Amino acid sequence: MTDYFEQTVKSISESIRFDSSLTDPSPDMPFGKGAADCLSHFLTLARDMGFETKNYDNYIGEVAYGTGPAEFAILAHLDVVPAGSGWTKSPFGGEIVDGKIWGRGAMDDKGPAFCVLYALKALKDEGFIPAKRIRFLLGCNEESGWACIDHFNEVSHMPEEGFSPDGNFPVIYAEKGILHVRLHFPVKNPPFSYLSGGTSVNMVCAECSATPRTLTATRARELGLEIRGKKIIAHGKSAHGSTPELGKNAILPILTFFEHKNADVKKVIDCLFRDSCGLTELTDETGKLTLSPDIVKFRKGELQVICDIRYPATIPYAEVVEKLKKMNVKYETLHHQAPLMQPKDSALVQILLKAYEDSTGETAQPIAIGGGTYARALQRGVAFGPEMEGDEPVIHQANEYITMERVRLLLDVYRQAIYELTK
C-alpha cells in the first residue's frame, strides 16, 4: 500500500477544503453547494482511476467495481457537522502539519472514505477481480437526517451486506438506538429575555448565552460565565452526542445561573442534567442510555431543548418513551433509528475482526457503541474503524485530525478486509 499513501493524503487534504456541512439547498444541490462539490471531487477522482461511478442527484454517489451476481456494500459519507468554535487550525484548510491532516471530516468520514477508495485502487491495480459486485456509496446527509439513503432506496436498491468505515475498531457488532426529541418546557415569569445555545443535535453544546433580566455579576463569575454587556455566555467543549461525557455542556451553567430564580428552569435541569426520570438507568450489554441536551432556545414562553438520546440495543423503544413521558412536558420525535445488532460469530464480523488483528497484531473482540452509522441501512451491516481505543477524541470537536499512521493502517486493513469479503 506504500505506493498509494502520498496520493491518499493529498486527496484527503483536498476534500477537507470543501465545507460540506448542510446548507440551504439550491437547484440540483439538495444539501448545498459544498456537499455537491465535495461529491463531484470524489467521483471524478474515482472515475479517473477507472472505476464506474454514478451521481444520484447529488444526494449520494456510487463507485462500483466487479460484475459478480452478489453485491457487497461499503457505505461512507462526505458531509460533515458544522466547524463550531475553538479551532487553532483552519477547519477547512486540510493542513498537513505534525504528522497529521487537520480539518473537519479528517476522521469523520472523509479520511476513511479515501482510504477505502485507494484500497480498492490497489486491489484493482493488482488484478484482483471480486466475486461480488462492490458498491461503494458516498452519502451527503449522514450527519443530519439520512435523506441521502432515503433517496438512494427510491432510485436504486441497497445491497444486503456490507460495512461502514465510520465507527470504531476492532469491529462494531451493535449500535444503540438513536432518538432525537424536542422537549417543550414552559417557563412562567422567565428571568431572561433571551437564551440560546448549540448548533447541531449530535454535538454537545459548546456555547450558550442568555440575557438576564437582572444581571448578578458575582453569580455569573462563580459559574465561570463571560459577561459581555448585558449578556452572559458559557463556553463548554463539544463532543459527539453519543459520548456526552467527553464534552462539557455549555447549557448547564447558563441554566444554573437562573435555577434559584425560577422553578421551571430548575425542572429543566432536573429532567435533563440530573435525570430525575431515570432515563440513564436503562442499560444492557451495549451500555447505558446516554442523554445529551444539545440545542436550546427560548421562544414563545418556553425553553425548547433538542436532545440526542442513545438507548441500549436490547431495550424496547416503548420503555424509553415511558421514561420521557415522566417529564410531563410536550415532546416531538424529530428522528428515530432502531438499534443495530449482529451476531458476534457471524462471518462478516469474524472476517473483519481477523483483518484488524492481522494488520495490528492485536487480539481483539467485537464491541458495541452509542454512535449511529450507515451500517443500519443494511440487513447485515457493521461499522469497521477508523477510531481505536485510546485515541484522542476529535470527532465533532475542534481541531479534528487524522494521523499519517492511521492513514497507513486504514489503507492496509481495508484492502485486506475487502479482499477477504469479496474474493
Active site residues: 79, 142
**Three-point CA angle 196, 198, 204, nearest 5°:** 140
Q: How far apart are CA 240 and CA 397, in angstroms?
A: 7
Q: End-to-end CA distance of the chain: give it in Å, rounded.
A: 19
Q: Which three cell numbers stand for residue 323?
A: 421514561
Q: Is the dihedral of CA 367, 368, 371, 376 positive or negative?
A: positive
SS (H, E, C) 281-313: HCEECCEECEEEEEEEEEECCEEEEEEEEEECC
**Three-point CA angle 372, 148, 140, nearest 5°:** 80
Residue of 137, 25, 39 lying closest to 80 (CA atoms):
39
Rounded to the nearest 10 degrees, the angle between the axes of helix 263-272 and helix 251-259 is 140
